[in-house]
Amino acid sequence: MFGIVEHPKIQGTGESRFGTVNSHASKIAGSGTCLVRKGRRRAVRLFEQSRSAWRLRTRRRRLGTRGRRIADAAVALMIRAMSRPILLLAGSAEAREIAARLGRDARWEPTISYADRPRVARHDAGRVRLGGFGGAEGFLSYLRRTGTKVVVDATHPFAARIAGRTARLCEEAGVDRLKVVRPGWTEDPGDDWTRVPDAAAAGATLAPGETVFVASGRDPVSALRGRGAHLICRRIEPPSEGFPGPDGEWLRGTPPFSVGDEIELFRGRGVRRLVVKDAGGAASRTKLDAARELGIPVTMIDRPRMPPGGTVATVDAAMAWLEAQWSDA
């Protein structure tokens, strides 16, 4: 879009009283390559010197056709030159929504980081990286190398180790960090829940001979085995080596699942108990609604404690925090 601007021909083409605006706009647009090459400092300095550029958007309707082209090009160039890198640690529905919104905002250069491959297939915006950073030094090196000064941790509510490490390293690096964690679930009339602090306590609620549907990821499985119950553990991508024993099985499934889907599954497999983590979220609550309809008791594993620091519960609140970060930069 910037190739259409030929600023030597523009002087005096707009209304005479906007000659200053046209002049500033043409200088900024004409030096676009310089802005991008020399980076944000040069862009900020030129932008501050050209005070009338701040009024380009509001005055563009009163400029001539070429004046409007210059105004749009100048503003786009300045936004592009001043865009800031941001690291989004993904793994939740909130992360996908934040990524989509950042992808529509030219002020940010988002990189979306996933710990594993299954969730990447549901990603729809931004630059993606997969896997870890190579330990603490690798993470700090990444922040320095990319010039990242803002990190949003929108990993799963149970990713306590990632959250703790991210908080500690961001503080060490002087990087602003925000944790996005949605509210947990609350019981409705008719629910039969038993809350427990961890997977070991969840195992104590199982009865020999009953079929238990486990929707708590892979980690708690070892604590649930050896109780005489048959475990059905649903995963997006089950381990290739199979279930670690004769008392259970992996069930492949990709969300979302409706309440009807869950009722059909629980009835068909004779499920007598659910074991779930308190992940929160409307989309994954359907299994709890199905359990209530069928009178199935639920063992609810409480969330781990998160590190202190900035925390929000919604995508809108996260975007408001990012807006403040941009304004304060």
* Residues 234, 152 share a domain: no
Three-state secondary structure call for residue 79: helix
The reply to whether 199 falls in a domain is: yes
Question: 99 with 126: CB under 8 angstroms?
Answer: yes
Q: Are residues 148 and 179 in the same domain?
A: yes
Cβ contact 300:196 at 8 Å: yes
Residues of the domain holding 286? 193-301
Give the distance between the most distant pair of CA atoms in the chain. Answer: 88
From the list 174, 153, 149, 150, the residue with the least C-alpha distance to 164 is: 153
One domain, residues 93 and 24: no
Same domain, 6 and 29: yes
Residue 35 shares a structural domain with residue 124:
no
Task: Tell me, yes or no, whether 214 lies in a domain.
Answer: yes
From first to last of the 329 residues of the chain, give the pLDDT tens digit. Answer: 333 332 333 333 333 333 444 444 445 444 444 444 444 454 445 444 444 444 555 555 566 677 667 766 666 666 555 678 999 999 898 999 999 999 888 888 899 998 876 555 555 566 888 888 999 999 999 999 999 999 999 999 999 999 999 999 999 999 999 999 999 999 999 999 999 999 999 999 999 999 999 988 777 888 999 999 999 999 888 888 889 888 999 999 988 899 999 999 999 999 999 999 999 999 889 999 999 999 999 999 999 999 999 999 999 999 999 999 877 66
Could you tell me if 174 and 318 lie in one domain? yes
Q: Is residue 76 domain-shared with residue 92, that is, in the same domain?
A: no
Q: Is residue 291 part of a domain?
A: yes
Q: How many domains does the chain have?
A: 3
The CATH number that applies at residue 269 is 3.40.50.10470
Find out whether 222 and 198 touch, Cβ atoms under 8 Å: no
* Contact call for residues 43 and 81 (beta carbons, < 8 A): yes
The CATH number for 101's domain is 3.40.50.720
d(CA 45, CA 31): 13
- 188 domain-assigned: no
CB 124 within 8 A of CB 267: no
